């Protein structure tokens, strides 16, 4: 699921910053418990960025009472820091107007792209870039730690609420005013509660978007920090109703009562002189541990192509990336990372000969490269599928590479997903181990919609209806999904007392007729 943030002007007259990156800036990789950060600058500034992200992760977990999981270290978020938001938009591609950063949660490796510089003058660059990044990572945390569906206003409002987290020498702050939304809040479309609560991201009008973020932040802030206890209890009742499939406005009226009264409370809060915020000592958070290294010459030559590739490609768009990557790979045959990146680019372009050769070179340098082991497996899986082979030995060999990768890192979600998917590629019934691998991948990276749907589908096949419903609800009621999306249709069938197998039969019939499960 890709999330993006639209940044409104902080004050009138702010111009887009387009300054180039500082001369002689070097590329570094910072690695911490939850992140891999690629950025230009100096070692200390890149380290500070990763430390700040780890502190932010700690703030969320402390505030929401969510424990960190050791297995999260196997599924880190990769952050690419690019010079400015123009570079972000180029990476995002079509429909990128006003996009200042974006996030994509996936089993193959969640990624985020954020600008080095934000809106405004020199003093506000870092702050604006931090707001974008915290907003994006907030989506990752919300999706990964709470198995619930959230309406659009709260999904974006909560990300905005966390985007203003800040730190001083000994203190963390949460709930500070969203100054970057000041103009929209004070002079924009107020978007009354009846409209705010009914917004759907797939149908929202362009002129409502700023109001969604601004007013969504205001309502989230009010219900999370400033509202009386009875309003907070009503909010919990509202979310429960939404997750049972009740339309947002209907659920809101039942929970909150008169929505006009809710608007009056929000307007009064907005006109107040101060906004409450929470603070606590940094000693309550885990101390960040970050390793920083400069990119190798080969990695530095390849990093621009790596970002384009990791952003997401299809067979057509992968071709020019691969063509530019081949000579770089040839110059650095002894760099395992470069060869691994080249293998992925060749896989995307369906050049299996090049992909296998690059993966083999990476494994010759580093036999424990789980990345290269997975690419080697994918080459063999794709060849077997395209040949439509029924030879068990061919599939066993392909899976053997995944088993090697899994032995190195048992919690890598993509390896687990590929093991499960290999049975479908072979036209075979998945084994119990394969089903367990899928369930574990879903548990590790619930942010990946495709994994969630695959888990729900397998649960239906196995007639585990309650498990399927839990997996489908966040998809069905997602802020970014159409009201009649495939997951919602499946839930409707299940609510009509259909068995899992009956629902699967209906899915297959709909697919055969061209309906699809979208």
Residue 210: in which H helix or E strand, if any? helix 209-221
pLDDT of residue 479: 67
- Do 179 and 313 share a structural domain? no
Residues 320 and 365 in one domain: yes
DSSP assignments along 312-381, one per residue: ---HHHHHHHHHHHHHHHHH-TT-HHHHHHHHHHHHHTT-HHHHHHHHHHHHHH-TT-HHHHHHHHHHHH
pLDDT tens-digit profile of 384-427?
999 999 999 999 999 999 999 999 999 999 999 999 999 999 99
Q: Is residue 289 part of a domain?
A: no
What confidence category does residue 274 fall into, taking pLDDT thresholds of 50, 70 and 90? confident
457 and 410 inside one domain: yes
Domain boundary among 229, 252, 284: 284
Query: Among 164, 201, 206, which residue's Cα sits nearest to residue 182?
Result: 164
Strand partners, 77: 35
Average pLDDT, the chain: 88
Domain that holds residue 439: 298-512
What percent of the chain has pLDDT above 90?
A: 67
> Does residue 486 sit within a domain?
yes
Res. 342: pLDDT tops 90? yes
Does position 345 have pLDDT exceeding 50, yes or no?
yes
- 237 and 110 assigned to the same domain: yes
Residues 60, 86 within the same domain = yes
Best-predicted range by mean pLDDT (145-149, 271-275, 440-444): 440-444
Q: Is-contact 52 167, C-beta < 8 A?
A: yes
Report, as an integer, the average pLDDT of 212-219: 94
User: Is a pLDDT exceeding 60 seen at residue 7?
Assistant: no
Looking at the fold, whether 277 and 378 belong to one and the same domain comes out as: no
Instruction: Tell whether the model's pLDDT for residue 136 goes beyond 80.
Output: yes
Alpha-carbon distances of 490 from 93, 194, 503, rounded to whole Å: 32, 28, 7
128 plus 268 within the same structural domain: yes
CATH number at residue 381: 1.25.40.10
CATH number at residue 139: 1.10.390
Strand 111-115 versus strand 77-82 pairing type: parallel
Q: What is the pLDDT of residue 22?
A: 42
Residues 170 and 205 in one domain: yes
| Token pair 């990769």 in the structure block, residue | 78
* Per-residue confidence (pLDDT) for residue 6, from 0 to 100: 32
Answer yes or no: are the C-beta atoms of 87 and 68 closer than 8 Å.
no
Most confident of 95-109, 132-146, 400-414, 471-485: 400-414
Residue 518 has pLDDT above 60, yes or no: no
Average pLDDT (202-222) is: 88
Residue 293 lies in a domain: no
Question: Residue 386's closest CA among 430, 427, 438, 340?
Answer: 427
Establish if 292 belongs to a structural domain. Answer: no
Q: How many domains does the chain have?
A: 2
- 36 and 70 share one domain: yes
Asked which of 284, 308, 326 is the last residue of a domain, the reply is 284
Is residue 517 included in any domain, yes or no? no
Q: Between 489 and 50, where is the model more confident?
A: 50
- Sheet strand arrangement including 99-104: 2-6, 99-104, 111-115, 77-82, 35-41, 26-31, 291-294
Comparing CA positions, the residue from 366, 364, 400, 368 lying closest to residue 384 is: 400
pLDDT at 75 over 50: yes
Range scoring the smallest mean pLDDT among 20-34, 164-178, 418-432? 20-34
Least confident window among 85-99, 224-238, 354-368: 85-99
Q: By mean pLDDT, which of 47-51, 94-98, 108-112 is the weakest? A: 94-98
Give the separation between CA 32 and CA 48, rounded to whole angstroms.
11
Judge whether residue 61 has pLDDT over 90.
yes
Q: Is the pLDDT of residue 281 over 90?
A: yes
Which 8-state DSSP code applies to residue 33?
A: S
At 187 the pLDDT is 87
Q: What is the DSSP string of 92-147?
A: H-SS-TTEEEEEE--TT--EEEEESS-SSSGGGHHHHHHHHHHHHHHHHHHHHH--
**pLDDT confidence of 5, banded at 50, 70, 90?**
very low
Tell which residue, 431, 434, 430, 454, has the closest CA to residue 442: 454
Q: Does residue 518 lie in a domain region?
A: no
Whether residue 322 sits in one domain with residue 209 = no
Longest dimension (CA), the chain: 73
Question: Between the CA of residue 78 and those of 39, 111, 158, 285, what are the distances in Å?
Answer: 11, 5, 22, 22
Helix (H) or strand (E) holding 280, with range, is strand 278-281
Q: Which residues contact 283 (CB under 8 A, 6 or more apart)?
A: 170
Same domain for 261 and 328, yes or no, is no
Work out the average pLDDT over 120-147.
78
What integer is the mean pLDDT of 63-86? 92
Residue 290 in domain: no
Task: Say what percent of the chain tops pLDDT 70.
Answer: 92
Residues β-bridged to residue 79: 37, 112
pLDDT of residue 462: 95
pLDDT over 80 at 291, yes or no: yes
Torsion over CA: 408, 412, 416, 422 (sign): negative
Query: Within this chain, do residues 121 and 208 fall inside the same structural domain, yes or no?
Result: yes
pLDDT at 8 over 90: no
Does residue 469 lie within any of the structural domains?
A: yes
DSSP reduced 3-state for 225: helix
Closest C-alpha among 379, 408, 404 to residue 394? 379
For residue range 355-367, what is the model confidence (pLDDT) as tens digits? Answer: 999 999 999 999 9
HSE of 393 in the Cβ direction (CA atoms, 13 Å)? 0
């Amino acid at each position: 699921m890709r999330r993006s943030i639209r940044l409104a002007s902080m004050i009138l007259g702010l111009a887009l910053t387009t300054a180039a990156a500082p001369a002689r800036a070097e590329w570094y990789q910072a690695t911490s418990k939850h992140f891999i950060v690629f950025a230009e600058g100096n070692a200390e500034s890149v380290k500070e960025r990763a430390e700040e992200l780890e502190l932010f992760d700690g703030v969320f977990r402390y505030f929401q009472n969510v424990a960190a999981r050791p297995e999260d270290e196997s599924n880190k978020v990769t952050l690419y820091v690019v010079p400015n938001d123009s570079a972000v938009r180029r990476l995002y591609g079509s429909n990128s107007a006003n996009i200042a950063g974006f996030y994509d949660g996936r089993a193959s490796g969640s990624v985020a792209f954020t600008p080095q510089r934000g809106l405004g003058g020199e003093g506000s660059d870092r702050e604006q870039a931090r707001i974008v990044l915290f907003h994006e990572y907030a989506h990752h945390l919300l999706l990964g730690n709470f198995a619930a569906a959230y309406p659009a206003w709260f999904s974006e409002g909560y990300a905005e609420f966390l985007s203003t987290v800040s730190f001083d020498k000994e203190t963390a702050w949460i709930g500070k005013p969203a100054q970057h939304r000041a103009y929209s809040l004070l002079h924009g479309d107020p978007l009354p509660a009846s409209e705010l609560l009914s917004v759907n991201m797939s149908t929202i009008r362009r002129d409502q978007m700023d109001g969604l973020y601004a007013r969504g932040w205001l309502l989230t802030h009010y219900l999370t920090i400033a509202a009386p206890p009875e309003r907070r209890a009503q909010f919990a009742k509202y979310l429960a109703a939404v997750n049972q499939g009740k339309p947002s406005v209907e659920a809101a009226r039942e929970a909150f009562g008169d929505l006009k009264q809710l608007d009056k409370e929000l307007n009064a809060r907005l006109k107040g002189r101060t906004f409450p915020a929470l603070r606590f000592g940094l000693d309550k958070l885990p101390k960040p541990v970050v390793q920083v290294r400069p990119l190798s010459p080969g990695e530095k030559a390849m990093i621009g192509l790596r970002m384009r590739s990791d952003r997401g490609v299809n067979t057509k768009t992968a071709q020019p990336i691969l063509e530019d990557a081949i000579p770089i790979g040839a110059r650095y045959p002894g760099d395992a990372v470069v060869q691994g990146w080249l293998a992925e680019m060749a896989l995307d372009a369906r050049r299996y000969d090049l992909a296998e050769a690059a993966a083999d070179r990476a494994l010759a340098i580093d036999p424990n490269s789980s990345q290269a082991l997975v690419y080697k497996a994918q080459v063999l899986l794709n060849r077997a599928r395209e040949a439509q082979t029924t030879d068990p030995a061919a599939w066993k060999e392909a899976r053997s590479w995944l088993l090697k990768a899994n032995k190195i890192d048992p919690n890598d979600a993509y390896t687990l997903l590929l093991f499960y998917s290999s049975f479908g590629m072979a036209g075979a019934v998945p084994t119990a181990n394969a089903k367990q691998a899928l369930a574990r991948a879903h548990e590790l990276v619930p942010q990946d919609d495709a994994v969630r749907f695959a888990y729900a589908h397998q649960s239906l096949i196995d007639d585990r209806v309650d498990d399927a419903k839990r997996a489908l609800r966040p998809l069905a009621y997602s802020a970014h999904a159409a009201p009649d999306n495939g997951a919602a249709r499946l839930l409707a069938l299940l609510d009509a007392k259909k068995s899992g197998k009956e629902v699967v039969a209906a899915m297959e019939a709909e697919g055969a007729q061209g309906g699809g499960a979208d």
